[in-house]
Structure 1
């Protein structure tokens, strides 16, 4: 790449990277060669639309779960304390049932979690944002339902409630076409740059140490 830059008569003009570090002369020459010699193909609207229709999952908003919980912490870390916390969590779940007002009151009275004063609200959560056991329990519920079985995590026992499941939706093509165009252009540039560098390497001169077999 440096040989080609010199053949083209390019001169290094160092640019700082994202961290503020200045390029070396060789790095600047490599960048200049690629900027001058590699021109990515611009995807047509038809190509953009075909990519959109072939990859709908890439343009779907995530499912959201408007959920709440009551956290019952064990008083100690021995089995007896964990068993007592579980029994208490079960009694709360049975008492509040699917009544949102009763759930909120129980949260403010008993929950050891910070959102207790906001009725135990966890907000609108996405998949993967909570510990797996709690996440799975919430996703198994219907709208307005409280789980009859508490869920254990390293924090304690959780009585969980799903207020509302907000399913994700596929974004319209017009909302993502610019993003698709940028992505296809970047892909084209990467492929063309790889081919260009391979062609240069095939005809370039490589200097270095020749490593041969060691004679006895």
Structure 2
């Protein structure tokens, strides 16, 4: 779907501009025009489905949403239409197992490492301050190498991070929980190892020591089988609905919106 025109209709039924404006409130976008276009797309999809429900004489069943609230009649009719017309296969154990084997990396628990650090704050844009911070970090590294038990004391005295109150201890760190240079250096260390070089980040310069390390483990298939099956069935349903909408659109005169393959709000 592309540009929204002034008049929008589906199968000869015009969608009121006031309805598009009201629907736009449900489509946060960068600009009002984008919100209006998204709203128009959603209402075109909705009207396509309701027109088909009319053609098939589908009445509104008594249905509720995930929170137990009764669906509005039109929403219930759309649900009943999709239930009747869109058929998808179930994902049996063999299908789920193949997906698991092909994407085993998705089912691994993350490696976590306890981290200690001492931060010398400096902006990378301030070359002089950054250089001084790097020199201070090198000095602390030498002290810790000579006296490992001094790390906590030095952190409390020198660190610009709030973790200084815990002797520089940041707790357990997993992938994606901190800035990339820090993470890369931390995960390269063995348990109990001090990073021999200062680590530079946008926050300043760090002295880093790794604590206890727990390696990630692949979850057994049995623990994730149902989640995989649910995911595959949901993906299959979404694709089938998209194809169904495309068929309906090809059989319907639509004005005001260029209608192509659909993956819009109702498909999701």
TM score, norm. by length of structure 1: 0.80
Post-superposition, which runs of at least 4 consecutive aligned residues in structure 1 deviate over 6 A?
A: 13-18
Deviation at 1:91, TM superposition (A): 0.7
Residues 98 and 5 of structure 1: is their aligned pair in 2 closer, same or farther, counting only changes over 3 Å? farther
Aligned partner (choices 205, 208, 213) of residue 160 of structure 1: 208
Alignment of 1:20-169 (within 5 A): 25=74, 29-74=77-122, 78-97=126-145, 100-169=148-217
Between the aligned partners of 2:154 and 2:254, the Cα distance in structure 1 is 76
**RMSD, aligned CA:** 2.9
In structure 2, list runs of 5 or more residues that go unmatched.
1-48, 257-268
SS of corresponding position for 2:118 = strand
Between the aligned partners of 1:29 and 1:154, the Cα distance in structure 2 is 54
Partner of 2:252: 205
TM score, norm. by length of structure 2: 0.66
Deviations 1:176-196, CA, capped at 9 Å, x for gaps: 011011011112212322333
Query: In 2, are the aligned partners of 1:68 and 1:160 still within 8 Å (CA)?
Result: yes
Query: In 2, are the aligned partners of 1:98 and 1:146 still within 8 Å (CA)?
Result: no
Residues 200 and 164 of structure 1: is their aligned pair in 2 closer, same or farther, counting only changes over 3 Å? same
33-42 or 161-170: bigger deviation: 33-42
Deviation at 1:36, TM superposition (A): 2.8
Deviation at 1:78, TM superposition (A): 4.7
Query: In 2, are the aligned partners of 1:98 and 1:145 still within 8 Å (CA)?
Result: no
Deviation at 1:45, TM superposition (A): 1.2
Deviations 1:147-196, CA, capped at 9 Å, x for gaps: 12112223221101111332211101111011011011112212322333
Q: How many residues align?
A: 204
